[in-house]
Amino acid sequence: MKTLGEFIVEKQAEYPGATGELSGILSSIRLSAKIIHRDINRAGLTQDILGVSGDENIQGETQMKLDVFANETMKKALIARGEVAGFASEEDDTFVAFDTERGRNAKYVLLTDPLDGSSNIDVNVSVGTIFSIYKRISPVGTPVTLEDFLQPGRKQVAAGYVTYGSSTMLVYTTGNGVNGFTYDPSLGLFILSHPNMSMPKDGKYYSINEGQYVTFPMGVKKFIKYCQEDDLATKRPYSSRYIGSLVSDFHRNLLKGGIYIYPTSTVYPKGKLRLLYEGNPMAFLAEQAGGMATDGVNSVLDIIPTELHQRIPFFVGSTNMVEKAKAFLLEETNC
C-alpha cells in the first residue's frame, strides 16, 4: 500500500535536480482536497454550505456557497505553503499575486476550477476540483504577471483533478503517465489505487448535453447520430452518459473509454468551457493516458491563450472517437 505522500517523495527522488517545490504544491492540493471532501460530505447536514452565495463570477455564472469555500480553501493552503508565486481561479476576476518574499521567489503558478459541477451539490451528484501548474516566465524575485498564466497547455508541468463521489480520488500527471489515488477517510490518506492509468483507444460512451441539440453545429449533430446508429462492426450504438460535471464525465471515460463534448452553439458561440482552468489540464491528462483533446480543429494543448477566462469548444477522450468527431466537423467545414 503506497500513499500519495510516499509516491510524491519517490518520484522526486528520480530527479536529482528537484528542489521540492512541486512536491510541496501537490501536498497543498492534497490538504485542500481533504478539507473540501469533508465539507462536501457534510452538505446534507448543514445549510451553511448549500445553495447559492448570492454573487456571480466574472463569467456571469451564479456562484454556489461551496464554490467560494473551495476557492478560498485552495488559496489559503497555497499561501500557507509558500510554493507558488500566483493563483488564478475560474471564480476570481483576475489572478492573485502572492506578493510576499516567499511568493516572489517561488517558481510556479497554479490555475484551478476549485469546484467543477458545483450546481450538482444540492442534489448529491459528483463534483470535482481541477488544477494546472506552470513554471512562471517572469523573473523570480518579482511579482507574477498576467503572462505567467497565459501559457499554452504544452508548458504545463503538472495537472490533475479530484473527484468527490462514492469515493474521493485524486488523479494527476507530471508528464510521465497518469496515476490515481483513492482517499481512505479512516486513515486520512490518499492511497495509490490506479497506477499508470490508460484511456482505451475506442470507447462506448459519449457525453454531451443533448438538451442543447438544436443549438449545435451540424457536424456535431451528425456525430451524435453516428453514435446512436446500430453497427455491430463498431459496437454501436454507444451509450449516452452525461453527468453535468466535467470531472465526473472525464473520469468515467478515462477508465471505460468514451468522448466528452462541449461544442460551440448558438448559445455559446465560442464554447463554454475555460481553456486555462478546464481545457488544458484535462487535455494534458488525456494525452498522458493515451487519449486526445481538440477544439474541433487544433490540439487544445497548442492553443495560445489570449485572456484569463478564455472559452473554447472541447472534445476530449478516446483517440478514435475524438478523431471521428473531428472528421464530421471537417466534412461540414469543407461543404
Binding residue ranges: 90, 113, 115-119, 209, 242, 272, 278
Contact in structure between 161 and 171 (CB atoms under 8 Å): yes
Contact in structure between 257 and 200 (CB atoms under 8 Å): yes
- Comparing C-alpha atoms, which of 142, 158, 133 is closest to residue 98? 142
Contact in structure between 150 and 305 (CB atoms under 8 Å): yes
231/16 Cα distance (integer angstroms):
52
Residues paired with 87 in a beta bridge: 96, 110
Feature table: binding site for Mg(2+)? 90, 113, 115-116, 278
Cell numbers representing residue 300 in the block: 487544445
Feature table: binding site for substrate? 116-119, 209, 242, 272
Which residues are within 8 A (CB) of 100 and not within 5 positions of it... i.e. 6 or more apart?
82
Tell me the CA end-to-end span of the chain in Å, nearest whole number.
Answer: 56
- The strand ranges marked E within the chain are 52-56, 62-64, 84-89, 96-97, 108-116, 127-135, 156-164, 168-173, 178-184, 189-194, 205-207, 239-240, 258-262, 273-274, 292-294, 311-312, 314-317
CB atoms closer than 10 angstroms to residue 226: 18
Cell numbers representing residue 276 in the block: 486555462
96/281 Cα distance (integer angstroms):
19
